[in-house]
Homo-oligomer: A and B are copies of this chain.
Amino acid sequence: MVIDLKQCVEILKENDNFLVLSHEHPDGDTLGSAFALMSALKKLGKKRAFMCSDEMSKDFSYMYEGIENDDIGENPFVVAVDVADTHLLGDLAEKYGDKINLCIDHHMSNAYFAEKLLLENRAAACEIVFEVIKALGVEIDEYIANCLYTGISTDTGCFRYQNTNSKTFRSVADLVEIGVNTKMINKLMFETKTKSFLELELLARKTLEYHFDEKCAIITITQAMYEESGSNEHECYPITALPRQIEGVLVGAVIKEKQSGAYGISVRTEGDIDASEICARLGGGGHAGAAGCESKDDYETTKNKILESIRLSLGS
C-alpha cells in the first residue's frame, strides 16, 4: 500500500521497536537514510537496530561508528530504506524479504514488496527521509544532517546528475544551514584518491575499448588488477563513471570481476539510451541513466551478452 508522508509519520510514531535495513553493497544514500532515521527514532525514545547484508566501507564510518543496536525483541517493525526490491537485501532477503512493514524509497522502479511504501521521485532516498524526520518533529543535528547530505550528494554525483533539481538544492541548503561537515564528507566521497586507486585506474584504463562506432566504451576490472595495484572492489566505483564521460560515448560499461568469479556490470548512458533497459536484458535494473546487472558466465560470454544488449538499445 502506498502511503503519504503523514501516514508514514503516524506509523513510525505508533511503533516502538524498529529494524532498519539497507540494501546490499551499501552506498551513501541507503546508509545515510538508515542512520539518519535510526538517530531520529532514538531521539523519539524508540528502540532501533540496523542490518545490512554486506560490510560498509570505512569511508562511511562517520555515520556508523559508535552506533550500537538496541534490543528490539522478536517482532520489530521492519523498515527498508532505498531498497527497490527484496533481492537487493542480499543475504537478508530470505529472512526479511516478505516481512518489510515499511519501505522508504525514491526508485520509481520499486517492486511494491513492502506492506507500506513511501515512494517519491526524488534524487535520493535521503531527501524523503529528511521530510520524514522534519515531519516527526525531531530536531535535526549535525550528525543527522551529515547522514542526509551524504546520501543526497552521493546519489547526485555531487549535484551533477540529472536527478538533481531545485528541491534537491533547497534540501541541501537547509541541511548545510543546520551544519554539515561538507569539508570532511566531500573530501571522503569525491576528492580523495588513494595511491592504490590511482594505480588501479591506470591498469583499468588500458582495457578501454570502443564499440559501435565509438558510441560505446567498455572498461574491465579484474581481480588481478586489485592485487597488482593493492586496491580492492570498494575503490573501483569512480571508474564506473569514466567510459560514459568520454566525448561522443552514449553507453559506458564497466565489467568488474568479483571474488566469486562472477561479473558485475555497471552501465551508464547518455541521452535517450535507457541503462535500466540494457541491464534488464541480463536480469538487472536501475535508473535510466545508471543501472547494473550480474553475470555468472565467463568473461567473453559476459562481454558479448552486454554488448548485444547495448547494440539493441543503441539501435546499431
Contacts and interface: CB of A to CB of B under 8 A. Distances in A.
B245 A191 contact: yes
Q: Label chain A's interface by main secondary structure.
A: helix
Nearest to A164: B182
A75 interface: no
A192 B247 contact: yes
Interface size class of A (residues with CB under 8 A): 20 to 34
Contact of A160 (B158, B167, B172): B158
Nearest to A210: B195
B165 A176 contact: yes
Contacts of A167: 173
A177 to B, nearest CB: 4
A316 interface: no
A40 to B, nearest CB: 21
The oligomer's copy count stands at 2
A95 interface: no
Contact of A173 (B166, B191, B195): B166
Contacts of A195: 246-247
Contacts of A304: none
A177 B177 CA distance: 20
A89 to B, nearest CB: 32
B173 A246 contact: no
A186 interface: yes
B169 A246 contact: no
A170 interface: yes
A193 interface: yes
Contact of A247 (B174, B176, B194): B194
Interface string A185-211: 010001111110010001001000000
Contacts of A247: 192-195
